[in-house]
Amino acid sequence: MSNKQLEPLHIVIDFDSTFTQVEGLDELANIALQGNPKQKEIVSKIREITEKGMTGSYSFADSLRDRVALLSANRSHVDQLITFLKGKISDSFNRNKEFIQEHAEQILIVSSGFKDFIVPVVRELGIPADNVFANTFNYDAEGNITGYDHDNLLSKDRGKVSLLQSLQLEGEVYVIGDGYTDYELREAGLANKFFAFTENVSRKVVVEKADHVVPSLDEFLYINGLSRAQSYPKSRIKVLLLENVHPHAVQAFKKEGFQVELLKGALDEAELIEKIKDVSILGLRSKTNLTKKVLEHPNAARLMCVGAFCIGTNQIDLSECENRGIAVFNAPYSNTRSVVELSIGLMVMLTRNIFEKSTRMHAGVWDKSATNSYEIRGKKLGLVGYGNIGTQISVIAEALGMEVYFYDTVDKLALGNAKKCSSLKELLNLADFVSLHVDGRKVNSNIIGQQEFSWMKDNVIFLNLSRGHVVEIPALVEAIKSGKVWGAAIDVFPLEPKTNDEEFINELRGLPNVILTPHIGGSTEEAQANIGEFVPAKLLQFMNNGSTYGSVNFPELQLPPLENAHRLLHIHHNMPGILAQINNVFAKYQVNIIGQYLKTTEKTGYVITDVAKEYSEEIVNELKLIENTIKFRMLY
């Protein structure tokens, strides 16, 4: 697709907190004062003066003079600063390095900072030294900074204005910056537009004066129809993360430039409908239900993908998501080990009656007795469900000397010496320990009830770390009170509080030798960190690349990186002839196809086509109008 030509546009860019993420002079002070007992105090004072200068509440000339006076630095510190700043180039500038290199001659760096460290940094992205306008330090014979050139226009009040007046630029002039001195160029009539850059810092007084507020360089390029790394600025894409997902997830999306909102608790249906407005990426755990009612509401029209930060996806209407072209991803393995370890630990705790003895000890009762206290070695463990968690428990339990039996509706290969039972009744008849590890499908609702407890041995140990609705709680309560169940550990419940502030209400409270945990089977730092990295990685692959590998409801495609092409993504109902219609459109406009990929499910087709960058915009409208199209998007 052709882009707006840059010329005769001049782009004037500030350096500190715009081209780089930090203020150079502040960081120079921090480096130079290492080991100085007053480092924190002096650096804090310099930053305070910087901020006042940037907001226009302090004369710039005075600000520069006072900050340099507080410095005690030399060339070696400047060299260290240069190395530091090269690693602090703003993310969106690094992303759009190609644009900057191609149009370097039309880009001017106009800064009240210092050429000494600015030139080596901007040169990394191809901007020549002649296009950098900034102050310069004065040094003594030993390389110590003694001051700066007071004759330089940029050392004075309204220095940027004076500098641009002297340059007499022809054509359009756009200014990108974070400070009041950048806005002054617009105020003086020397710039056609001022773009307040907020990727690194946002100053209210500056934002209020701007023609446009741009949270990234991508946004600036998008507004002006210029070539860019992102087809659509990620700062415009909303991410909603619920149920206090791990900070790694928040960081992953923010690093990519997305607009992120994190909520600690779960949302009910009405609340989710309200919050999902304009959201493109939704992340949730097990307590929030993404229902058909939510998905069909107009507020959910922009939803593109969903991440379940847990193993199960029964809380998500997967079929409706597929109907609407919404890809869903989960973390099927990330918390497996955590659930396994807790399960084994709970077996030991229950068979030794540790919970009851600990409670008595806290009450001052010394109950040293071996009565009703047993080893788990040599006992029979019955696993209901032999998936990722069940198989790992099987291996570890066998290593501890237990006999392992399992029952699963799907034919599974037994690991080690584990034995498969032909029915649930057979398993329950022989097991000393029964541990549930089934998924959350509706067919598994109340699979353990009064009859199933009657099949179990007397004094059985019972665990449920799978889903709350798979056990009839009244039947479990009766089995515990009757002595059929000697001890129980329950981590999941049919009704769970949405937040930590709500009271947990359940009939199991107060029963002897019953360990109740608040759905924490997978809640370890390791597991949550793994999930916080795994799920965002899948969502970002889909958003950035179109890949759907690992999706639980979508045609799975693992795509190569996008290079020197535009990627057109077409999601449609799986009907005959759609691929032919897509290719007819390409043929009509003589589009050069670089690569094409297709995968279907019973209901949905997913066609990805990489094409040469130059093509008619009309092609996009025709692809969208193909009958049975669900969603269409482009990636640059």
CA dihedral 338, 438, 307, 491 (to 10 degrees): -50
Contacts of 37 (CB under 8 A, 6+ apart): none
| Residue 261 designated active-site | no
Question: Per the structure block, which two tokens stand in for 636?
Answer: 């640059």
Catalytic member of 124, 320, 478, 496: 496
Burial class (CB in 10 A: 0-12, 13-18, 19+), 370: exposed
Identity of residue 54: M
Cβ atoms of 453 and 484 within 8 Å: the answer is yes
Cβ neighbourhood burial of 7 (10 Å; 0-12, 13-18, 19+)? exposed
| Distance in angstroms (rounded) separating the CA atoms of residues 312 and 289 | 12
Helix or strand or coil: residue 407?
strand
CA dist., res. 77 & res. 440, Å (int): 60
First to last CA, the chain: 10
Q: Is 360 among the catalytic positions?
A: no
**Candidate list 246, 467, 469, 567, residue with the active-site label:** 467
Phi, psi of 164, rounded to the nearest 5 degrees: -70, -35
Of 95, 103, 519, 566, catalytic = 519
Q: Is 362 a known active-site residue?
A: no
Q: In whole angstroms, how far apart are CA 582 and each of 326, 378, 601, 627?
A: 21, 64, 18, 11
Q: What ranges in 24-179 are assigned the alpha helix state H?
A: 24-32, 39-55, 60-70, 75-86, 91-95, 97-102, 115-122, 159-167
For the annotated catalytic residues, the residue numbers are 467, 496, 519
